[in-house]
Homo-oligomer: A and B are copies of this chain.
């Protein structure tokens, strides 16, 4: 912000030290009214302290917003994304990326409601989250002023930050005085860790990094078998019990955690142009990914599946880069949602020490035809002779090429 005329700002506020410092810095630097917004996205922290701290820092009660967004998060963000089998760079289930647009959306709703002209977040200038927040802000409220303190202030060392906190009577938990050995983000879908002790990509991640799953080596010696029920592309139950989206994901997280499922140690490419290394834990999401693919395997037409697969990298990139609220994401979502109408049925899985193993799938909409595929007598369901013409015409262009001197598909 080079424009200093901010009147009221809605801050994405976690209640932690960093966003508390931001809160106070906004008050002192912009001399504007600060509204705090704290969301429960399943990060596993109490929200009460955030309210207390906001009050302590001088925020008026009517300016403190605390929302439980867990069901919205899973139903309207996580599930639509999982319909696409989205993996960024072939591996990453996008746990952080998918939470940011919801926070941005709610922040803007609050800004409209309280008449704020600005929003602020606590993401740094090196990462993807600043992009995801701000793209969301601008797409939803094009005239909003955006304040990104980490890009603006001079509190660039831990010492400076602590000094500012002390100077402004911001309470500092004992264990926050020193620097954390790595940085964590968490929500109902995943936890991510990065930075500091994780910065050297040749060094194995320390076991302390993994907080949401037990190690495969520590997981039980026995297989846990479960079923997941799907309707129109979304999981709706576990072991026959119908569950709300957030409840279902919570349960899958527990199952994944105790079986050591969903760890990923990845070097990825950030939208801002550098590579970074992250350690991700997506226990329930990993199970859901495998199950959804298995559900699709018997209910989706081949070309429908291949079309989805061919667009998936683009879809994942869009979300990773922060363009959830964009025409291109909406268009792809329309295509993906259209494909899921018959993705209904049950998948059976074995969970065991880091493995999610499909052991069965069934559906009222199955396209799997035992009558056709059987090695036994198929009673005329399939005429093997058809294959000859099929192959000959598929080969024709290559035969014509070979006759013209381009053997073996040469160009």
Specify which chain B residues have a CB less than 8 angstroms from the CB of A199 in the assembled complex. 370, 373-375
A20 to chain B, nearest CB (A): 19
A205 contact set on B, CB distance < 8 A: 359
Let me know if B411 and A131 touch, CB within 8 A.
no
Chain B residues within an 8 Å CB radius of A156 = 377
A242 interface hit (Cβ, 8 Å): no
A169 interfacial contact with B, CB 8 Å: no
Please give, as numbers and ranges, the residues of chain B lying within 8 Å of A171 by CB-CB distance. none
Contact between B293 and A91, CB atoms less than 8 A apart: yes
Contacts of A217 in B (CB 8 A): 221, 223, 352
* Residues of chain A from 265 to 282 with CB closer than 8 A to chain B in the complex: 265-269, 272-277
- CA of A269 to CA of B395 in the docked complex: distance in angstroms? 14
Binding stretch for chain B, among A6-14, A46-54, A56-64, A336-344: A336-344
When distances are taken between beta carbons in the complex, the residues of chain B under 8 Å from A325 are: 398, 408-409
Query: Chain A 296-333 against B: per-residue CB contact (8 Å), 1 yes, 0 no?
Result: 01101111111111101110010000011111111110
Q: In the complex the two chains form, is B384's CB within 8 Å of A386's CB?
A: no
A 139-194 contacts with B by CB, 8 A: 139-143, 148, 150-151, 156-157, 183
The yes or no answer to A134 lying at the interface (CB within 8 A) is: yes
Closest B residue, CB atoms, query A308: B331
What's the Cα separation between A335 and B338 when bound, in Å?
A: 9
A208 within 8 A of B: no
Q: Looking at chain A, what size class is its interface with the partner chain?
A: 35 or more
Assess the B131–A391 pair: CB atoms within 8 A: yes
* Chain B proximity of A327: nearest CB distance (Å): 4
CB A186 to nearest CB in B, in angstroms, measures 18
9-residue interface stretch from A73-81, A249-257, A361-369:
A361-369
The answer to whether B125 and A387 have CB atoms under 8 Å apart is yes
Name the distance in Å between A256's Cβ and chain B's nearest Cβ. Answer: 14
Partner pick for A196 among B131, B275, B375, CB 8 A cutoff? B375
A274-B396 in contact (CB<8A): yes
Q: Which of B274, B387, B395 contacts A400 (CB 8 A)?
A: B274
Q: Is A241 an interface residue (CB 8 A)?
A: no
Q: Whole-angstrom distance between the alpha carbons of A370 and B201 in the complex?
A: 9
Q: With A150-B384, A365-B404 in contact, do A303 and B326 touch (Cβ < 8 Å)?
A: yes
Q: B134 to A391, Cβ gap below 8 A?
A: yes
Q: Are B275 and A368 in contact (CB-based, < 8 A)?
A: yes
By a CB distance below 8 angstroms, the chain B residues around A294 are 267
Task: Let me know if A201 and B332 touch, CB within 8 A.
Answer: no
Q: Mark A118-141, 1 if CB is under 8 A from B, else 0.
A: 000000111000110011001111
Give every chain B residue within 8 A of A373 (Cβ-Cβ).
Answer: 126, 199, 274-277
Q: What distance in Å separates the Cβ of A189 from its nearest Cβ neighbour in chain B? A: 20
Report A326 CB to chain B, min CB distance, Å: 4
Contact B370 A200 (CB under 8 A): yes
Q: How far is the CB of A319 from chain B (nearest CB, A)?
A: 12
Contact: A398 with B135, CB < 8 Å? yes
The answer to whether B386 and A392 touch across the interface, beta carbons within 8 angstroms, is yes
Q: Are B303 and A138 in contact (CB under 8 A)?
A: no
Contact of A397 among B263, B274, B395, B408 (CB under 8 A): B274
User: Are the CB atoms of A203 and B360 closer together than 8 Å?
Assistant: yes
| C-alpha gap A223/B218 in the complex (Å) | 12
Residues of B within 8 A of A276 (CB): 373
Residues of B within 8 A of A387 (CB): 125-126, 130-131, 148, 151, 272, 389, 393
Shortest distance between the CB of A192 and any CB in chain B (Å): 14
Pick from B313, B386, B404: contact of A367, CB below 8 A. Answer: B404
Q: Give the docked Cα–Cα distance between A307 and B268 (Å).
A: 15
For residue A90, which residues in chain B have a CB less than 8 angstroms away from its CB?
Answer: 85, 293, 309
Q: What are the 3 closest A-B residue pairs judged by CB atoms, nearest first?
A: A389-B389, A125-B384, A273-B396
